[in-house]
């Protein structure tokens, strides 16, 4: 007879999910109510308000998609890109490549701006792409490239798009709650994130936000949104604050409790304090890693504090070290993806995982495991 599943207790310091505090797990264990219950509707409004705080935006259309960050990404593209629309896509890692896939599948015409993995996006290349494609309607880029640990200059990139009358779609899955994300100040039109990184919630929800310019584009579409589930024209009937809610889908009620609690905790800490904590823990980890002789992949100016990519030393079996960390120390760190598979480790300092005891434990475990 099958017995209940009891997961091992791990310290999660990979590229996500991050450690989930007991307070959030306790919130998720509260009684389930209906997704149209008046009490749940009030919870939805509070989540929307707190997400606006986290995104630093006044966008009314700010809410969590009932699916992981990949669905938030797809929601942005299927709503904002119509067949034939030219989209400039910046690719400096795995997740820029996923943006490109979305453009292709919506029938958009991609113009790819490539940069080296581990480098930030070069704004001059984006300017050149717009000069060669003045009819481009959207610029899509990853703010914090999780596959490499590089962070790009979102404000600069968004300004280039605005100067050419284009909308912006920004991936901030790994940056929201960990480093500054300023949608209104930067002029970002559509952004998506995930619940499981710097927000320290469980995986499965994708906070998104859309500007008035983005909404105008959606409302003026000449073709239907190809995805029924992700069609904002339909989803808004459920998430809108005014009038009677219409049934669109059954929201994941208990995970919403968890996201609500994580945002309450973010409010209590203060957004700027959370950014400062991630930076401080990065500096401590960096000092320890360099003392072990480990080298960073990303130049310091473009380095993402909450995702530390490290070159695997020559002659070291990177998978064997990760396995040893997991088995002997119950510590998870991440492997490289795509072009960097087998070449780097990715050490996450996100959300609840960004604390002194985790930094100390990670350095101690690495020192014990490295030859």
What pLDDT, in 10s, does the model give residues 119-169? 999 999 999 999 999 999 999 999 999 999 999 999 999 999 999 999 999
Taking the C-alpha atoms of residue 139 and residue 298, their distance in angstroms, rounded to an integer, is: 24
Say what the pLDDT of residue 36 is. 87
Residue range 342-359: mean pLDDT, rounded? 97
Whether 241 shows a pLDDT value over 80: the answer reads no
- Phi and psi based region of residue 292 (left: phi greater than 0; alpha: psi -120 to 50; beta: remaining): alpha
Residues contacting 25, CB < 8 A, separation 6+: 258
| Contact between residue 327 and residue 320 where contact means Cβ atoms under 8 Å apart | no
How confident is the model at residue 238, as a pLDDT? 81
* pLDDT(77) > 90: yes
Q: What is the pLDDT of residues 187-231, one digit of tens each?
A: 999 999 999 999 999 999 999 999 999 999 999 999 999 999 999
Phi, psi of 240 (to 5 degrees): -65, 150
DSSP class of 353: G
The span from the CA of 59 to the CA of 61, in Å, is 5
Q: Is the pLDDT of residue 244 over 80?
A: no
Please tell me whether the peptide bond between 17 and the residue prior to it is cis, using omega within 30 degrees of 0.
yes
pLDDT score of 247: 81
Query: What is the per-residue pLDDT across 249-303, written as a single tens digit (0 to 9) for each?
Result: 889 999 999 999 999 999 999 999 999 999 999 999 999 999 999 999 999 999 9
CA nearest to 347, candidates 337, 364, 359, 330 = 359
β partners of residue 89: 112, 140
Q: 177: closest CA among 251, 84, 276?
A: 276
pLDDT of 4-19, one tens digit each? 999 999 999 999 999 9
Average pLDDT, the chain: 96
* Tokens linked to 298: 């990303």
pLDDT of amino acid 248 = 87
pLDDT of 250 reads 87
pLDDT at 240 over 80: no
pLDDT at 171: 98
Work out the average pLDDT over 349-355.
Answer: 98
pLDDT at 101 over 80: yes
Q: What is the mean pLDDT of residues 40-65?
A: 96
Structure tokens of 366?
A: 């690495």
Angle at 26 between CA 32 and CA 49, to 5 degrees: 70
What is the reported pLDDT for 243?
57
DSSP result, 30-75: SPP--TT-HHHHHHHHHHHHHHHHHHT---SEEEEESS-HHHHHHH
In tens, the pLDDT along 296-348 reads: 999 999 999 999 999 999 999 999 999 999 999 999 999 999 989 999 999 99
* Measured distance CA(126)–CA(307) in Å, rounded: 25
- Contact, 33 vs 39, CB < 8 A? yes
* 242 band by pLDDT with thresholds 50, 70 and 90: low
């Amino acid at each position: 007879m099958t017995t209940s599943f009891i997961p091992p207790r791990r310290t999660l310091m990979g590229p996500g999910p991050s450690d989930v505090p007991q307070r959030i797990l306790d919130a998720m264990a509260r009684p389930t109510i209906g997704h149209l219950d008046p009490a749940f509707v009030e919870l939805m409004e509070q989540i929307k308000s707190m997400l606006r705080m986290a995104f630093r935006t006044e966008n009314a259309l700010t809410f969590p998609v009932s699916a992981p960050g990949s669905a938030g990404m797809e929601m942005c593209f299927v709503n904002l890109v119509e067949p034939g629309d030219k989209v400039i896509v910046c690719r400096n890692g795995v997740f820029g490549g996923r943006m490109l896939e979305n453009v292709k599948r919506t029938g958009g015409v991609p113009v790819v701006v490539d940069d080296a993995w581990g480098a930030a996006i070069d704004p001059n290349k984006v300017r050149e792409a717009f000069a060669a494609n003045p009819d481009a309607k959207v610029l899509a880029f990853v703010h914090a490239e999780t596959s490499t640990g590089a962070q790009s200059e979102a404000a600069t990139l968004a300004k280039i798009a605005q100067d050419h009358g284009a909308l912006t779609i920004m991936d901030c899955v790994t940056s929201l709650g960990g480093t500054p994300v300023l949608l209104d100040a930067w002029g970002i039109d559509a952004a998506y994130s995930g619940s499981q990184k710097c927000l320290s919630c469980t995986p499965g929800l994708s906070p998104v936000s859309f500007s008035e310019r983005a909404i105008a584009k959606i409302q003026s579409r000449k073709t239907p949104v190809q995805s029924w589930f992700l069609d904002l024209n339909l989803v808004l009937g459920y998430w809108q604050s005014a009038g009677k809610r219409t049934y669109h889908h059954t929201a994941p009620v208990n995970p919403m409790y968890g996201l609500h609690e994580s945002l309450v905790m973010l409010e209590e800490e203060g957004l700027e304090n959370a950014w400062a904590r991630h930076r401080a823990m990065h500096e401590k980890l960096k000092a320890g890693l360099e003392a072990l002789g480990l080298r960073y992949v990303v130049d310091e100016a473009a380095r993402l504090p909450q995702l530390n990519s490290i070159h695997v030393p020559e002659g070291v079996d990177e998978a064997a070290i990760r396995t040893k960390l997991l088995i002997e120390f119950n510590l998870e760190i991440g492997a490289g993806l795509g072009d960097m598979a087998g070449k780097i480790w990715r050490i996450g300092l996100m959300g609840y995982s960004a604390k002194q005891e985790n930094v100390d434990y990670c350095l101690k475990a690495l020192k014990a495991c490295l030859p």
